[in-house]
Amino acid sequence: MASNPLYIVLCSGEHEKIQMAAMMASVGAVSERPVEVFVSMNAVLAFAKGSTPEERYRGGTFSDLLKAKHAPDAITLFQQGKELGDLKMWACSMALDVQGWELDRLEDDLFDGALGLTRFLSDAENGQLVTL
Amino acid sequence: MSERTKIDARGAYCPGPLMELIAALKLVRVGDEIEVLSSDKGSANDIPEWVKKVHHEMVGITEEDGYWSIVVRKAK
């Protein structure tokens, strides 16, 4: 039986929430569960192409710990989820418009396209929705 | 004849060891085994759970001095 798809809305720019989204998305995808991630608001900024980890990840105590202990990088986890499982990532078209960015400002080979919230929520009716 | 590949993921945090295992499984033949060395306690629990969910085979798990040796056979 096919697994219930997991839909993640990632809107926080906090490192800890981005890390959690990356862990959920990658582990879910490699566990034969379809996963789709919708990236919006401050989270979009963390996916800017060419950012250093210091520029990309801002957060609290756990952000410092994750960096100090060399926990798996969130962008790498998303990439692994795509390479090894069924993971799709969408950039919020509204957030890109507000920021004045096109899709090519985001990390390469990570996003499947830009998408509106209405379409994402419509698709998510078929699965479990988590917001971070 | 089946072969065994060893991955040393000691020092990597969750889900690093699992991801390394999965990447390695993609490269070997059905029946081959992967031995993952992991110092991450969560992975010692999570890897057997993942193996069960996706229908590979657990060969064994052994706690060594500060790490676990987890052996998985590719079943499909």
CATH number for the domain harbouring residue B14: 3.30.110.40
Count how many domains chain B has: 1
Is A117 at the interface with chain B, CB within 8 A?
A: no
Q: What is the pLDDT of residues A29-43, one digit of tens each?
A: 999 999 999 999 999
Q: Give the CATH superfamily of A6-131.
A: DsrEFH-like (3.40.1260.10)
Indicate the average pLDDT of chain B. 95
Query: Residues of chain A whose pLDDT is less than 70?
Result: 1-2
Please count the other Cβ atoms lying within 10 Å of the Cβ belonging to residue A6: 22
Q: What is the pLDDT of residues B18-37, one digit of tens each?
A: 999 999 999 999 999 999 99
Residue from A4, A6, A27 whose CB has the most chain B CBs within 10 Å, to mutate: A27
Q: Report d(CA A107, CA A103) in Å as an integer.
A: 9
Secondary structure (3-state) at A39: strand
The residue range of the domain holding B37 is: 4-73
Selecting from A27, A32, A69 the residue whose C-beta is nearest the C-beta of B18 gives: A27
**Residue A5, preceding bond cis, omega within 30 degrees?**
no
- Listed by number, the residues of chain B in 2-61 with a beta carbon closer than 8 Å to a beta carbon of chain A are 11-16, 18-19, 22-23, 26, 46, 50, 53-54
Q: Are B8 and B40 in contact (CB under 8 A)?
A: no
Question: What is the ipTM for the molecules in this complex?
Answer: 0.83
| Angstroms from A112 CA to nearest CA on chain B | 21
* For residue B17, pLDDT beyond 90: yes
Active site residues of B: 14
The confidence band for B2, taking pLDDT boundaries of 50, 70 and 90, is confident
Q: Are B75 and B25 in contact (CB under 8 A)?
A: no
Q: What is the pLDDT of residues B54-67, one digit of tens each?
A: 999 999 999 999 99
The pLDDT score that the predictor gives to residue A1 is 52
Compute the average pLDDT of residues B38-55.
Answer: 93
Selecting from A23, A31, A83 the residue whose C-beta is nearest the C-beta of B50 gives: A31
The pLDDT score that the predictor gives to residue A2 is 67
- With CA atoms as reference, the chain B residue closest to A32 would be B54
| Angstroms from A103 CA to nearest CA on chain B | 27
Q: Are B2 and B34 in contact (CB under 8 A)?
A: no
Is A65 at the interface with chain B, CB within 8 A?
A: no
